[in-house]
A and B are shown apart, each in its own frame.
Chain A
Amino acid sequence: MTDAPPLERVRAILRAAARIASRADPLGAEARRVLPGTTGLSPEGVELALREHLETDPDEASLERLVAGVSPAPRAHVILSGTVFTGALRALALALAASPDVSVRPSRREPEMVRLLHAASGGGFRVVPELEPSPGDVVWVYGKDETVEAVLRGMPAAVSVLGHGSGFGVVLLSADVPDDSLARDAEGVARDVVPFDQRGCLSPRIVLVQGSERSARRFAERLAASLAEWEERVPRGTLDDTERADAVRYRDTMLYSGELIPAGSGLVGVDVSGGVVLPPTGRHVHVARPTDLAATAFTLARFVVAWAVSGPEPLRELAAAVFPEARGSALGSMQRPPLDGPVDGRTRFLRSARSG
């Protein structure tokens, strides 16, 4: 692969991913066997992710944008997080667009997807326990903010570091709409919550509602029903100790401070007075009806990685203005951003060796 141009290197990793997405391929079968154990997702959750969230067939324009947005480097290194296993593909595509010489340190929690991609690509990159970048190399690090900062501190000065830290998705919607529209919106939000059991930073965890108290409650009830329906088809996987404890915390907080609606294995919390608390991952959604939606959205802005809007154009303009670096998507597609670059505009050079 050393001699192949960047676009070809990216296409090669996409072909490898397509093998894993395919149930008929032995590696695809293996993926379905091992990934529930390392991701905590149910087998149905893994299937959903492989079938609909592994971007194996992007359009040509997206690929060209991805390659054009990456600066060449002698070597590229990747540190992956374990939250969204399909994220390994985008991370690898970006790294391979930068260099034919790519090393990946997989997540300790979920190393299988990298191993499968490595096998499917015929060794198109190296899997390493620790990175050893040299001056001029570029390092992509994905994870919580503390991880990104720790990696940055530990890297030699002449190494470029790009980081993608913590965040979550937000939905802004107008709830004073007919029942069928409200049901469509609720289904769209549920569609974005269910994949990866909401562990990805693109997944919506907060819905800010514009409309009457009654409409806000009606939407929350409809959303809870949609999540319960999804649960029948794609059961939630296992939560870790932290997630379960956080769920209890959120439950009791909302029992006291708002309203709580069971939603399959998860919960929908409602605060029609506009209070906003971030619910934990695991298919929990907080629905708030702020008196000043713009001000509340602004408060969230520094954490928001992805947004979607259902409502009049001014609401969309507000989201675009308040979350300028976040990925805007249609409702129901928040966890399927085109493979045209990093997932959002917040992935950036924390240190550029070239710019000093």
Chain B
Amino acid sequence: MTPVERSDALHARVRALAAAKEALSPEEFDALASDIARFQFETIPAFRRLVLARGGERLLARADDVPAVPVEAFRLSRVAAHPASADEVRFETSGTTGAARGIHPMRTTATYRALALAWGRRALLAGPGPVTVAALAPDPGANPTSSLGFMMRAFLETFDVASSREGASTRFLASPDGVDVAGLLRVVAAAEERRTPLLLLSTSFALVLLLDELGGARLPLPEGSVVMQTGGFKGKTREVKRADLDVALARAFGVSRASIVAEYGMTELSSQLYEGTVPGAELAAAPGILVPPPWLRVTPVDPETLAPVEEGLARFVDLGNVDSAVAVVTRDVVRRRGPGIELLGRSKDAEPRGCSLSIEAMVLARSAP
């Protein structure tokens, strides 16, 4: 088999998980993770170097042993099993000043899309009935560089049949100038006319801007509506605590706090985690717990030994990352909790001593391609 054929076969196996009714057993997860890791070992010289330096091919047999690629590598160099000429998209991280952006190249977005839709449907939709979808985000356009924008568009096109008639672009209600309150009012009115709930997709920061625009006024959403909020306030001039934001949103939209759901995703991953609080949705979990889909394993690891711990850096084994890095370690600190994890914040590694600077966000220039 050629590398592309191997990749296609792995993608097909992963996409099948999105449609599966039964969850993977740990052994099945390990087997698929191992096959993907071996594919990456044989096609990505950089990953081969990492594996060989960390202990050799024996580490590829179990998902928990596969050497994880630090997210910084996505900022510094190309993380892909295929040449740049075969990229369908290159998702970019949001950059901070002075730092290079991370890039996650994808040869195909079909798997990303299938996984996002499958887990998003279980987390965000209360049932099979119609829903109106809008996004407080800029339109990603035909060539998206934001994985979040790509996912939002997929939700719009798939969950909201009406949007295809009207054009999905009309449902992206933010621009660099701010949020489009009038546009949101139009979408809310249309949802009420259709007698559907609204699924409002947004970054936390855009929701803060919306509340500012509303200036204390209410904007009641149709019954059964859900707000998906994602992302923090990195690089923004303001920060609002999650609990305070939820209270303000529940009041402004006239929805229960359970209907305001956190999503956790990263450019470097192909899968997302959600809170499972939406009444009537398939995914159910206590507030504050981010639940991974069956094709994503999250393990807190010690930042020095990289061994599993109860509370530590988030190490992901994402079966959706067929062509990039199946195991990724981030700087987010998480704690095991119930069926998922609790996000505790950023690593203390990000706090340098004295006048030193830490390596946090300090990938300053990418390697030449």
Neighbouring B residues of A168 by C-beta, 8 Å: 356-357
Q: How far is the CB of B366 from chain A (nearest CB, A)?
A: 6
Out of B69, B75, B76, B348, which one reaches A242, CB within 8 Å?
Answer: B348
Most chain-B Cβ atoms within 10 A of its Cβ — which of A166, A277, A290?
A277
Whether A166 and B364, one on each chain, are in contact in the complex, defined by CB atoms closer than 8 angstroms, is: no
Q: How far is the CB of A276 from chain B (nearest CB, A)?
A: 4
A338 to B352, CA, bound (A): 26
Out of B47, B67, B363, which one reaches A277, CB within 8 Å?
Answer: B363
Neighbouring B residues of A276 by C-beta, 8 Å: 363-365
Whether B355 and A273, one on each chain, are in contact in the complex, defined by CB atoms closer than 8 angstroms, is: no
Chain B interface main SS type? loop
In the complex, B53 has a CB within 8 A of chain A: yes
Q: How many chain-B residues does the 8 Å CB contact rule pick out?
A: 41
Q: How far is the CB of B192 from chain A (nearest CB, A)?
A: 47
Within 8 A of A (CB), among B340-359: 347-349, 351-359
Whether B354 and A255, one on each chain, are in contact in the complex, defined by CB atoms closer than 8 angstroms, is: no
* Nearest chain B residue, comparing its CB with the CB of A281: B356
Neighbouring A residues of B98 by C-beta, 8 Å: 299, 302-303
A2 to B171, CA, bound (A): 72
Whether B364 and A277, one on each chain, are in contact in the complex, defined by CB atoms closer than 8 angstroms, is: yes
Out of B50, B53, B75, B365, which one reaches A288, CB within 8 Å?
Answer: B365
Known: A276-B364, A299-B365. A81 touches B355 (CB 8 A): yes
Whether A277 and B351, one on each chain, are in contact in the complex, defined by CB atoms closer than 8 angstroms, is: no
Neighbouring B residues of A241 by C-beta, 8 Å: 303-304, 348
Whether A278 and B364, one on each chain, are in contact in the complex, defined by CB atoms closer than 8 angstroms, is: yes
Residue-wise, chain A 223-259 has the 8 Å CB interface mask toward B (1 for contact) of 0000000000000000011111110111011011110
Most chain-A Cβ atoms within 10 A of its Cβ — which of B100, B303, B354, B364?
B354
Q: How many chain-A residues does the 8 Å CB contact rule pick out?
A: 53
A143 to B354, CA, bound (A): 5
* Nearest chain A residue, comparing its CB with the CB of B364: A276
Residue-wise, chain B 163-189 has the 8 Å CB interface mask toward A (1 for contact) of 000000000000000000000000000
A-B contact count (CB 8 A): 159
In the complex, A296 has a CB within 8 A of chain B: yes
Whether B50 and A252, one on each chain, are in contact in the complex, defined by CB atoms closer than 8 angstroms, is: yes
Known: A248-B303, A249-B72. A257 touches B46 (CB 8 A): yes
A331 to B303, CA, bound (A): 34
Within 8 A of B (CB), among A294-332: 296, 299-300, 302-303, 305
In the complex, A167 has a CB within 8 A of chain B: yes
Q: How far is the CB of B209 from chain A (nearest CB, A)?
A: 25
Neighbouring B residues of A273 by C-beta, 8 Å: 77, 367-368
In the complex, A28 has a CB within 8 A of chain B: no
In the complex, A99 has a CB within 8 A of chain B: no
Whether B303 and A249, one on each chain, are in contact in the complex, defined by CB atoms closer than 8 angstroms, is: yes
Whether B357 and A166, one on each chain, are in contact in the complex, defined by CB atoms closer than 8 angstroms, is: yes
Q: How far is the CB of A150 from chain B (nearest CB, A)?
A: 13
Neighbouring A residues of B72 by C-beta, 8 Å: 249, 253, 257, 277
Whether B77 and A83, one on each chain, are in contact in the complex, defined by CB atoms closer than 8 angstroms, is: no
Neighbouring B residues of A83 by C-beta, 8 Å: 353-356
Neighbouring B residues of A260 by C-beta, 8 Å: 53
Can you list 6 A-B pairs with a CB-CB distance of less than 8 A?
A200-B355, A245-B347, A252-B73, A274-B367, A278-B357, A288-B365
Using a CB–CB distance below 8 Å, which chain A residues touch chain B? 81-84, 107, 109, 142-144, 164-168, 199-201, 240-246, 248-250, 252-253, 255-258, 260, 271, 273-281, 288, 290-291, 296, 299-300, 302-303, 305
Known: A199-B356, A271-B77, A275-B363. 17 other contacts (CB 8 A): A82-B353, A83-B353, A144-B351, A144-B356, A167-B355, A200-B354, A241-B303, A252-B67, A252-B70, A258-B77, A271-B367, A273-B77, A274-B368, A275-B76, A278-B364, A280-B358, A303-B357
Using a CB–CB distance below 8 Å, which chain B residues touch chain A? 46-47, 49-50, 53-54, 67-70, 72-73, 75-77, 79, 98, 100, 303-304, 306, 329, 347-349, 351-359, 362-368
3 closest A-B pairs by beta carbon, nearest first, are A83-B354, A275-B367, A245-B303
